[in-house]
Each structure stands twice: as structure tokens, then as C-alpha cells.
Structure 1
Amino acid sequence: MFAKLTPYLFVAPLLAFIAVFTYIPIVSSVNLSVHSWNFMSPDMPFVGADNYARLFASSDFWNSLRVTSIFAAISVPVRLVLALVIASYLKRETFTSRTLRGALFLPWVTSAVSIAVVFSWVFSTDYGMVNAVLAWMGMGRVPWLQDPTLALLVLIFINTWKQLGYDVVIYIAGLQAVPQELYDAAAIDGGKRLQVFRRVTVPLIMPTTYFLLVVSVIEAFQVFTIISVMTRGGPAGATDMLVHLLYRTGFVLFDIGTGSALAVLLFILLIALALIKSQVIGKRVHYEA
């Protein structure tokens, strides 16, 4: 009897941790999304789908969804393409490659708040380093964080720079797992470098690409820190992404019900995107892998 329970006892602490910090909050968010609560009052009247209806009728929600979609649509492909190109050059086990890997990976483990503060100075209109270089070249000042289009592009650049090292390391692991015999056979058959890369490398690292695609999209839809520190959703809502709107709704306006409804919608959206990617890319990944 006790022997059969032993495996469950070993995983019980982890299951308890996941339940407390993952499943219980999810259930609580769903419950709060159908109630009205201001975070202070003990009264939590049931409102049904009113919070969801309020979100769908809100221009802020649709603006945040649009901004988040643009952010993900630009940053994710750029990250993956750059990471694959860089990983192709750094996959060899040399001192230089290992040093560059460490340098690229360093931003990923660095505090996002620290990065956001530093880049706020770098892209400052009045005393930023970027505008100082432009002035030295005889060009005028650029309002990087005050222009709606430029502000979003700056955030995409910063997020790509921070996350790139992780993607590179994962791609390196995928590239190193490709058998050398396949490259040797392709060389014997007269395959050129680009042909070998397209016909051999890309198909065999599709599982790695699929994993990074899922992780990158989820991360792009959850960007918050650099927005909160650098732009606070501005200018004119140009960088007000979904998680920042969630924070502003729940913890600034104290509309916990609507904020929880937004959290539930974001969760459903990410699940839907994962299922779509699984249907579109997943079968091809398993086939080619």
C-alpha cells in the first residue's frame, strides 16, 4: 500500500506548489471575472458577463489588442531569424564562440527594470546617447519615446535585444543535435551552403523553431516591465499592451472584476494561438523531425 503511494509523495510538494501558484489563481481569476469588486469592499456582487461586455465595448481593449498584435508580429519573426543566423555562426565550440554566447545571454538574465531604466536614458530626447550621436552627425533630435510609432519600435528593439540570447542558446543546442553525417552527405552530393541550410538544417531544427515560436509569442503577449518603466502605455496609448492595460484596470482603477476578465481573455487567446500553431506547424514538425 505504502509502496504504491511513494511516487506520489515525492511529487506532492511540487504538485502543491503548482496548485497554489498556478491552478488556484486561475480559478480565482475566472471567479472574479464574473463579479464586481473594487479591491477594498467586502461586497462582491455577481454580474455575470457584464465585465466581458464592458471590455468588448472598450476602445482601450481593442487598442491594446492591436498594439500587442503588432508588437508580437514584428518582434517574434525578427528574434527567430536573428537568433538562427547568429547561432549558425556560434555553434562551434571555440573560446570566441563561448564568450560571445555569454555576452548575448547576459541581457536575458539581467533585471528588466534595470534595462528599462538604462534605455530610458539612452533614448531620452534631451540628453540621451542616441540623440547625442545624431547631433554629432549633424542631425536633429528625435523624440524616440514621445512619438507613437517610434516608441513602439524602441520597445520592440529593447525586448528583442533582451530575449535574443535565450533564443540563440536554444538554437545552438538544436543545431548541434543535427548529425554531421548529413552535412557530409550533402557536401558529397555537391550541395551549396545555402541549399544545405535550407534543405537539411531548417527541416531538422523545426522542433526547436516550433518551441521558440510558442515561447516567444507567449512572452511577447506578456511584456510589461519595460512598458511600465519607459512609457507607461503612452504616448496616446501607442504602447499600452494587454498586460499593462490589465495592470492599469485592476491595480490603478481598482476594477478587479474587469481586470480578471481581461486576464481570462488573455489566457484564452494564448491557448487559441498555441492550438493554431499546433495545427499549422505542429504536424509538419513531427513529420520532418
Structure 2
Amino acid sequence: MQRKITPYLLVLPLTLFLGIFTYFPILSSLDLSFREWDFMSSDKPFVGLENYALLLSSRDFWNSLNVTAIFALVSVPLRLCLALMISSYLVREGIVSRLLRGALFLPSVTSAVSIAVVFSWVFSTDYGLVNGILAAVGLPRVSWMQDPQLALGVLIAVNTWKQLGYDVVIYIAALQAVPRELYDAAAVDGGRRWHVFRRVTFPLVMPTTYFLLIVSVIEAFQVFTIVDVMTRGGPAGATDVLVNMLFRIGFSLFDVGTGSALAVLLFIFLIVLALVKAHVLGRRVHYEA
């Protein structure tokens, strides 16, 4: 009996931690999405699907969904392509390669608030580094953060710079696991570099690509800190991503019910998106036995 109970006792602390700080909040958010609450009142009247109907009929919601989708569609392929190209060069062992790996990985473990504040100065219209360089070469200054057509692109660039190092490190580990014999055989057969990459390297790192794709899309749909610090969803809603809208509704307007409904919709959307990607790409992922 003791041998049967011991494994459950060992996982009990972690189970309690997850239950209290993960599963209970999820269930509470689901319950609050069907209620009306403003943090102040003790009453939480049940309103059914009214919060969901309010969101789905809101122009701001569809704008935020569109902005978030554009952010993900641009930033995720950009991150993965750059990471794969960079890791192909940094996979070689050497002092310079190791230093560059560390330099690339450092932003991914740096505070997002710090990065956002620094880049707010870098892209400042009046005294930013980027506009200073443009002025030095005789070009006009650009309102990077005030132009609705440029602000989202700036956020994508900053987020890509921050997350790129993580993707590079994961890709380097995957490339180092590719058997050297396959490259030797391809060289004997006269395979060109592009054909070797296409027929040997890319299929064998496809599981890693699939993993990074899932993680990157989830991260892109949950981006908040950089947006909140640099633009706060502006200008004119051009960078108002879903989580920024959720924060504004729930913690600025104190409409907890509608904010919880938005969180549930985002959760459902990510689950459906992950299942679609698994169905479409799962057949092309080859795992080693």
C-alpha cells in the first residue's frame, strides 16, 4: 500500500500548485464570463451569453482580432525563417559562435518592460536613435509610433528581436542532432547546398519547427507587455491586440464579465488553431523512433 501511495504523495505538491494557480483561475474565468461583475459589488448576477454577444457585435473586438492575426502571420514566419538561417551558421563550434549565441539569447531572458522602454526611446520621433541616423544622412524624420501604418511593424520588429534568440538556440540543438553521415552521403552524391538543406536538414528539423510554430503562435496571440509600454494599443487602434483589449476591459473599465468572456474566446481560438495546425502539419512531421 505504501509503494502505491508514495508516487501520488510526491506529485501532490505540484498538483495542488497547478490546481490553485492554474486550473481554479481558468474555471473561475469561465464562470465569470457568464456573469456581470465590476470588482466592487458582492453580487455577480448571471447574464448568460450576453457578454459573448456584446463582444461578437463589437467593432473593437474584430479590429483587435484582425491586428493580432496580422501580428502573428508576420512575426511568426519571420522569426522562424531568421532563426533557421542564423542557426545554420552558428551551429559550428567555436568561440565566436558561442559568443553570438549568448548575445542572441540574452534578449529572450531580459525583461520585456526594459526592452520596450529602450525601443520607445530608439524609435522616438524627436530624439530617437533611428531618426537621428535618418537625419544624419539627410532623410526626413519618421513618426514611427504615431503612424498607424508603421506602429505595428515596429512592434513586430521589437518582438522578433526579443524572441529570436530562443528560437535560434532550439534550432541549433536540433541541427546538432542531425547525423553527420547523411551530409557525407549527400556530398558524395554531389548534392548542392540548397538541395541538401531541402532534402536532409529541413525534414529532420521539422519536429522542432512544428514545436516552435505552436509556441510562437501562442506567444504572438498573447503579446501584451511590449504593446502596453510602447503604444497602449494606439494610434487609432492600429496596435490594439486582443490581450491589450482584455486588459483594458477587465482592469481599466472594470468589466470583469466581458473581459473573462474575451479570455475564454481567446483560449478556444488558440485550441482550435493548434488542432488545425496538428491536422495540417502533423503528417509532415517525422519523429525519430
TM-score, reference length from structure 2 = 0.99
How far, CA to CA, are the matches of 1:243 and 1:286 in structure 2?
Answer: 34
Q: Which moved more, 1:15-24 or 1:257-266?
A: 15-24
8 Å CA contact retained: 1:203, 1:288: no
Aligned to 2:134: 134
Report the secondary structure of 1:148's partner residue: coil
Aligned to 2:9: 9
Task: Describe how 1:191-210 pairs up with structure 2 within 5 A.
Answer: 191-210=191-210
1:22 to partner: Cα distance? 1.1
Q: For each residue in 1:90-145, what CA deviation from the matched residue of structure 2 results, as whole angstroms up to 9, or x when unmatched?
A: 01121111100000000001000000000000100011111011000101110000
Aligned to 2:186: 186
Aligned to 1:104: 104
Q: Which runs of 4+ in 1 moved over 4 A?
A: none
One-letter amino acid matched to 2:233: G
Identity across the alignment (%): 73
1:20 to partner: Cα distance? 1.2
How far, CA to CA, are the matches of 1:260 and 1:278 in structure 2?
Answer: 27
One-letter amino acid matched to 1:33: S
Count residues with an aligned counterpart: 289
8 Å CA contact retained: 2:210, 2:285: yes
- Is structure 2 residue 72 aligned with structure 1 residue 72? yes
Aligned CA-pair RMSD:
1.0
Task: Describe how 1:118-129 pairs up with structure 2 within 5 A.
Answer: 118-129=118-129
8 Å CA contact retained: 2:76, 2:213: yes
1:36 to partner: Cα distance? 0.3
1:16 to partner: Cα distance? 1.1
One-letter amino acid matched to 2:217: V
How far, CA to CA, are the matches of 1:96 and 1:42 in structure 2?
Answer: 61
Aligned to 1:91: 91
Give 5+ residue unaligned stretches, structure 2: none
Q: For each residue in 1:149-198, what CA deviation from the matched residue of structure 2 results, as whole angstroms up to 9, or x when unmatched?
A: 10000000000000000000000001011000111111111111111000
TM-score, reference length from structure 1 = 0.99
Q: For each residue in 1:29-49, what CA deviation from the matched residue of structure 2 results, as whole angstroms up to 9, or x when unmatched?
A: 000000000111101000000
How far, CA to CA, are the matches of 2:283 and 2:194 in structure 1?
Answer: 25
- Is structure 2 residue 226 aligned with structure 1 residue 226? yes
How far, CA to CA, are the matches of 2:19 and 2:97 in structure 1?
Answer: 41
How far, CA to CA, are the matches of 1:246 and 1:134 in structure 2?
Answer: 37
8 Å CA contact retained: 2:144, 2:154: yes
How far, CA to CA, are the matches of 2:286 and 2:21 in structure 1?
Answer: 32
How far, CA to CA, are the matches of 2:263 and 2:2 in structure 1?
Answer: 41
Report the secondary structure of 2:286's partner residue: helix
Give 5+ residue unaligned stretches, structure 1: none
- Is structure 2 residue 263 aligned with structure 1 residue 263? yes
